[in-house]
Amino acid sequence: MCFHTGLNFTTFSGLKAFFLVFTCFKLNHWKTNKNPRRKFLKTLKTLCGFKKMIFFLVGLDKVRYNGDMEDRQHLPDANRLSVISAVILLAYALIPFVKVPAQPIRLSLIWVQFDFNLNYGTLISLLAAILAGLGADWLLQGHPDHDKNSLLRHGFVPALTAWVIGVPLNTLEVQPAWWVVLALGGVLLVLVLVAEYIVIDLSGVAYLPASLGLTAVSFALYLVLAIALKAANVRLFLLLPALVPALFLLVLRTLYLRSGGRWNWVWALGIALVVGQLAVGFHYLPIQPLTFGLLLVGTAYGLTTFASGLEEGREAGSLWFEPIFMLSMIWLLAWMIRG
């Protein structure tokens, strides 16, 4: 339980110094004048310690204890964090040295037959995503507020981050730029894991910047996902299962972070279905992959901010400003680079 007071820590530091000097003076005065209370103070000094005695007199022991508790920040275990990031980056670093031919895979259902090729880079990306999700859950087990249902909540963004790292690595030639992309991807993955660890504590000092960073990274990763799928000319029956569930989890997590720990399943499902319908229409338009991704992300972000503001009970002016502004800016950018 916190000890509340109207004085700040600077004031208490001054009080601490004042009472320290005052008590030293009084001790010396009582020693000189053979005061009978000297024996009592000497015993008290022995039992409690001089500093604790001063803190007890002015109540600074409670204030300092609670100040340390409020300022203390939980950080992830460095050993676990390094193991997770090293394993994922090592898996990607083996891509230039392992040459495995693509394997055609045919999946036949009752009336539909699916044909696609599975190469080594795609397999590594899927493996890295699984490792990142499970690794995030393992990392978060060291947090004092960790619960058993954190895999889906905190594992989605790290898994998506690890998968997106492989998108440019599987398309670029192995040159110095390839290794730069790998290094930057590793830094991004570490930052995402640290942010996921921080946002467990909803009352933490760093919760707001960490949640904002996770939201921005999540939508940026979804943009990369949409661009990659469009650029690969993926069929619609494969495009929708990749975009709609991913957006559902993304919006669900974003609303959770913005609302301070409340799940909004209905809003997340509704936004995912609306954007999925737009993806069906945009899929058949002759537009660039970047334009396709921006149109989807702009709509998704605008609807997400509107839902968040509505749940928070904002007034009409602030409720509509951010969604309309961000939707207009992103769609304008998509129109400027259309093709």
Looking at residues 106-113, what average pLDDT do you find? 72
Looking at residues 251-273, what average pLDDT do you find? 91
Within 8 A by CB and 6+ apart from 258, the residues are 211, 215, 308, 312
C-beta atoms surrounding 87 within 10 Å: 14
Joined together, the tokens standing for residue 328 give 């207009």
Predicted structure pTM score: 0.72
The pLDDT value given to residue 52: 46
On the question of pLDDT at 176 being above 60, the answer is yes
The pLDDT value given to residue 300: 96
Q: Report CA-CA distances (Å) from 242 to 127, 129, 163, 237, 295.
A: 17, 14, 13, 9, 17
Residue 209 to residue 158: CA distance in whole angstroms:
17
Joined together, the tokens standing for residue 259 give 């609302």
Contact criterion met (CB below 8 Å) for 305 and 281: no
Residue 103, burial from CB neighbour count under 10 angstroms (0-12, 13-18, 19+)? exposed
Least confident of 22-31, 80-89, 194-203: 22-31
Provide the mean pLDDT of the chain. Answer: 79
C-beta atoms surrounding 45 within 10 Å: 15
The radius of gyration of the chain's CA atoms, rounded to the nearest angstrom, is: 28
Residue with token string 């992103």: 330
Give per-residue burial for 207-244: e unless 16+ CB within 10 Å, then b: beebbebbbebbbebbbbbbbbbbeeebeeeebbeebb
C-beta atoms surrounding 257 within 10 Å: 19
Where residue 42 falls among pLDDT bands split at 50, 70, 90?
Answer: low
Phi, psi of 117 (to 5 degrees): -105, 135
